[in-house]
Amino acid sequence: MLFETYRFDNLETDESQFLDGWSYFWAALGGPVYVLLRGFPRPAVVMLAISVALGATATALVIAIVGLVDNTMVNLISVIGIPLAAMALQSTIAIQIMRAALIRRGWREGY
């Protein structure tokens, strides 16, 4: 499954955290801001670098396709599809970064 749900348990405080569909949605929109607001400042800096690279790559691809291809439908699909794909990739990376950070903090991945 592309957007897998994760559950983490803190054995000391008996808390649980979930990384579910809404987490992917907010990570797609916010990227490093989402990671920072969830309480992970260092991983947010890493996510910022990744988000800048993804944004630059997506922008370059859209510019290249629109500039080189003389087909309105291809251009429209690229202008919509490439940013959506970049956002989906950003959300998946952000969730994996948060997953690793939770495990480093001692949270146990639930089953």
Residue 59 tokens read as 């922008």
pLDDT at 3: 85
pLDDT at 110: 79
- Summarize pLDDT for 72-107 with one digit per residue, the tens: 999 999 999 999 999 999 999 999 999 999 999 999
pLDDT at 11: 87
What is the DSSP track for 35-52?
HHHTT-HHHHHHHHHHHH
* Residue 1 pLDDT level (bands cut at 50, 70, 90): low
- Cα–Cα distance between 94 and 89 in angstroms, integer? 9
- What are the CA-CA distances from residue 34 to residues 7, 42, 51 (Å)? 18, 13, 12
pLDDT at 111: 66
Flag whether pLDDT at 2 surpasses 80.
no
- Summarize pLDDT for 14-24 with one digit per residue, the tens: 899 999 999 99
- Summarize pLDDT for 30-42 with one digit per residue, the tens: 999 999 999 999 9
Higher pLDDT, 23 or 2: 23
